[in-house]
Chain A
């Protein structure tokens, strides 16, 4: 299981039921409160997060660890790096 190799999140936010761009907006807000190297887990039901999160991480220089799908729920792991 890939989840076995992922770090435990330092913070988890649940954006279920919200759509683009709010999972990213909420992730950005959460990351601002976290320390360098911390891991954020974003839970979402917007399937667009599988596309958005890697692009947002690339633009903002956070580290996208993985986005996993479990049924209709997506779990996206991000390590805070940033500019």
Chain B
């Protein structure tokens, strides 16, 4: 019987190499690409593509097509994933990235898919020592153990530096044809790509996950802190996945937050999330969409402050007065405000 395996495929160089190595041993592979909602490239596409108008491609689909491997996109962005982000057992990395818990979550799903597909093991493009938290020897082991993949999680790029896995011990995989790569250098990966005839892979762009981004992390922890202060519960909601990576964010008070679109695409995205929030827009002059959310009614001062900021980022920024419409459910009010000119105040409010 031909061996079957599940590949975790992002489409980056490492996961593509791992896929090529395992497939090259005659193993039937099904590739899985997980959607978390925090992928920077996906968000870029959501906002209309790159500044030059081009649309980033889905690298996992591209890699699977290039290597002639069946691929499935799996959505894991639901409440279980969000709960894990808020309460990570192994804590966060430098920002809002609970990389070990995230890998455990993904590998657990991969194990379920492995069992469903009748495959014998799961493999990834992880490289020992490449990342400071999730790719150390001890954390690689934790991920394998906590996901229930004990002995059935192969890392082909570092396999010869790690204990033999079940598929290696059972002869399904030839360990001698796997790699012993460690650390952050990509030299061996580039050599291997040439040896395997791979010519197309995305250039590393300094991270592909919003959770590792410092600016995103400030907004992430701000919303958790604000909800905990008002309701006693740290929680993330489905809308946050898009809203935290969209627009300028201002904390007007411990209870109330304003988000202001930066581009037409962001304004259009914010429109989708206006239900249950107050929507602000300057009247009679082009400008951004603003959304106000929080616990309970916004005070008069908070409404005025939000209106001034929305006016500040529109074409009426140099006028002495701008009319800003505040829509909240059936209620519509108009506030005549001076666009906010106090840059120090804006910076103080900015999250």
Taking Cβ atoms with an 8 Å cutoff, the residues of A that contact B are 17, 19-22, 24-25, 28, 46-48, 50-52, 54-56, 58-61, 83
Asked if B218 lies at the interface with its beta carbon under 8 angstroms from chain A, I say no
Contact status B65-A19, CB under 8 Å:
no
Can you list 29 A-B pairs with a CB-CB distance of less than 8 A? A19-B42, A19-B46, A21-B33, A21-B58, A24-B61, A24-B73, A25-B35, A25-B75, A46-B45, A47-B45, A48-B45, A48-B55, A48-B56, A48-B57, A48-B58, A51-B57, A51-B58, A52-B61, A55-B62, A55-B64, A56-B65, A56-B71, A58-B65, A58-B68, A59-B31, A59-B61, A59-B64, A59-B70, A60-B70
A24 to chain B, nearest CB (A): 5
Q: How many angstroms between the C-alpha atoms of A61 and B30 in the bound complex?
A: 13
Q: Which of B42, B74, B75 has the most CB of A within 10 A?
A: B42
Query: What are the residues of chain A within 8 A of B48 when measuring CB–CB?
Result: 47
A46-B45, A55-B64 given as contacts; is B58 within 8 A of A20 (CB)? yes
The complex places the Cα of A22 from the Cα of B242 at a distance, in Å, of 14
Complex interface: chain A residues within 8 A of B73 (CB): 21, 24-25, 28
Q: Which of A17, A25, A48, A83 contacts B70 (CB 8 A)?
A: A83
In the bound complex, do residue B57 and residue A21 qualify as a contact, i.e. CB atoms below 8 Å apart?
Answer: no
B-side interface residues, number (CB < 8 Å): 25
CA distance A81 to B336 in the complex (A): 61
CB distance from B35 to the nearest CB of A (A): 5
**Chain B nearest CB: distance from A33 CB in Å?**
15
Q: CB-CB contacts of B53-82 with A at 8 A, as 1s and 0s?
A: 001111001101100111111110000000
Closest Cβ of chain B to A46, distance in Å, is 7
User: Binding site of B, secondary structure by majority: helix, strand, loop or mixed?
Assistant: mixed
Q: A58's closest neighbor in chain B, by CB?
A: B65
B49 within 8 A of A: yes
Closest B residue to A24 by CB, please name it.
B73
Assess A60 versus B71: contact at CB under 8 Å? Given A21-B33, A52-B58. Answer: yes
Residues in A whose Cβ lies below 8 Å from that of B74: 25
The reply to whether A20 and B46 form a contact with Cβ atoms under 8 Å apart is yes
In the bound complex, residues from chain A placing their C-beta under 8 Å from that of B58 are: 20-21, 24, 48, 51-52, 55
CB distance from B31 to the nearest CB of A (A): 8
Q: How far is the CA of A22 from the CA of B73 in the complex (A)?
A: 8
Give A25's nearest chain B residue, CB to CB: B73
Residues of A contacting B71 in the complex (Cβ-Cβ under 8 angstroms):
56, 59-60
How far, in whole Å, are A29 and B61 apart by their CA atoms in the complex?
16
Q: How far is the CA of A17 from the CA of B269 in the complex (A)?
A: 10
Interface bits B14-41 vs A (CB < 8 Å: 1, else 0): 0000000000000000010101000000
A36 to chain B, nearest CB (A): 16
Task: Known pairs A20-B42, A55-B58; list 18 more (Cβ under 8 Å).
Answer: A19-B46, A20-B45, A21-B73, A25-B73, A25-B74, A28-B72, A28-B73, A47-B55, A48-B56, A50-B55, A51-B58, A54-B65, A55-B57, A55-B61, A55-B64, A56-B61, A59-B64, A59-B70
- Chain B residues with Cβ under 8 A from A46's Cβ? 45
Contacts of B42 in A (CB 8 A): 19-21
Within 8 A of A (CB), among B80-98: none
Residue of B nearest to A57 (CB): B65
**Shortest distance in angstroms between B62's beta carbon and chain A's nearest beta carbon?**
5
Q: Are B70 and A19 in contact (CB under 8 A)?
A: no
**In the assembled complex, how far is the CB of residue B71 from the closest CB belonging to chain A, in whole angstroms?**
5
* Bound-complex Cα distance A52 to B33 (A): 13
B74 to chain A, nearest CB (A): 8
